[in-house]
Amino acid sequence: MSNRRLLATAAIILGLALIAVAIVYWAEPAKSLPSFFPGHESGSNHHHTKHGIASFLVGLACLVFAWFNTGQQKRPTQT
Amino acid sequence: MHPISYFQGAMLGLLQGVSELFPVSSLGHSVILPRLVGWHIHQNDKFFITFLVATHLATALVLLGFFRRDWWRILKGLGRSLRDRGIDPADADAKLGWLLVVGTIPAGILGLLLESSLRSVFASAQSASIFLFCNGLLLFGAERLRRRAPQTADDDDTRIARQVGWRDSALVGTAQALALVPGFSRSGATMAGGLLVGLSNKDAARFAFLLATPIIGAAAVLKLPELAGPDGRGVRGPALVGALCAAVTAYLAVRFLMRFFETRTLVPFAVYCLAAGAACAIYFATT
């Protein structure tokens, strides 16, 4: 597997994972978040919407990176 | 009774419109001014944050309107690059668009994660004055250390797209997060960053304003529900007046600055920040 493909695959996996994390942040209150998530707080009903937005944006950026990396590579034109 | 009077709303709106775009820290000024004139408005008061949402939204809309043709070209460039799954080196609009995306993401994330904690730590007018002084040093330092790259293109956006690299854009964008500390200016940090990567004053200002639009707009839109909710009670009228005043001064400020930076530098703003920051810090320490 070439380096480009490997990077793109990693970006797709990371991007999808981050978007899933964003959905968890939006759906679950702080008390129900997995304990390793930043913002987890037992007994708190607060929804970490901003954490979700941040995670979603980085996930989206990873997917865009993968989109560019899996496109056809343009060769510089010879003059 | 309104927690902010209409007069205070108008004054803070006028100040916000100018200081958001001038590299002199709008947040710093909105912390220092109420303390100087003895108004009982604190930057961590819920109603004041709600008021600021309206003035920020007005500033973002003015910036969007002022650069509407550029934004339209940039959006078309982004669309072209997504369709072609690559950025054509000759497509300055696409490159500029992705530079703005790369610069906005770190600033957005840092803003989302650090805003409330930094706001509460550096809430005093005394610390805002000291950071305003530091902002002056930053502007002055950027002018001293700037790189003067040869200007190779006639079009503003082409020059920016050629001169700024991906890493540069991420660093300049990240520098915007400095503005979360009252006293440091968002446009000052981005203009300083632009000068350090070799942009002219005019191009650095243009890049700073383009970079500021999505961040200021998104921050305002995210908090818009607060203006509509219970926190907005008693503030909506003054906030509307403040927003209108901010829109007028923001428009005048961006027009002025785009002409000013064709021939001038950041030095006058650096001098102002150094003088005002030092004077206010001494005044607050002695009263």
What is the spatial distance between Cα B109 and Cα B115, in angstroms, rounded to a whole number? 10
What is the spatial distance between Cα A39 and Cα A75, in angstroms, rounded to a whole number? 46
Q: Residue B4: its pLDDT value, please?
A: 84
Mean pLDDT for the stretch of residues B45-54: 80
Mean pLDDT for the stretch of residues B120-125: 78
Q: Which amino acid is at B213?
A: T
Residues from chain B that touch A57, judged by Cβ atoms under 8 A, are 105, 108-109
pLDDT at B154 over 50: yes
Residue A10 vs residues A20, A69, B86, B94, B105: alpha-carbon distances, Å:
15, 11, 19, 25, 19
Residues from chain A that touch B82, judged by Cβ atoms under 8 A, are 64, 67
Give the list of residues 6+ apart from residue B68 with CB closer than 8 angstroms, or none: none
Query: Tokens standing for B136?
Result: 């002056």
Closest Cβ opposite residue B108 in set A57, A70, A73: A57
Q: Which amino acid is at B16?
A: Q
Residues B270/B25, Cβ–Cβ less than 8 Å: no
Residues from chain B that touch A70, judged by Cβ atoms under 8 A, are 85
Confidence of residue A1 (pLDDT cuts 50, 70, 90): low
Q: Residue A79: its pLDDT value, please?
A: 43
A75 touches chain B (CB under 8 A): no
ipTM of predicted assembly, 2 dp: 0.74
User: Which chain B residues in 74-113 lie under 8 Å from chain A, judged by CB atoms?
Assistant: 81-82, 84-88, 101, 105, 108-109, 112-113
A70 touches chain B (CB under 8 A): yes
Chain A / chain B CB contacts < 8 angstroms: 35
**B175: how many CB neighbours lie within 10 A of its CB?**
25
Give the list of residues 6+ apart from residue B281 with CB closer than 8 angstroms, or none: B126, B129, B130, B133
What is the spatial distance between Cα B123 and Cα B58, in angstroms, rounded to a whole number? 24
Higher-scoring residue by pLDDT: B272, B105: B272
Q: What percent of chain B has pLDDT over 90?
A: 55
Closest Cβ opposite residue B85 in set A51, A61, A72: A72
Q: For residue B61, give how far its alpha carbon lies from the nearest alpha carbon of chain A (Å).
A: 22
Mean pLDDT for the stretch of residues B275-281: 96
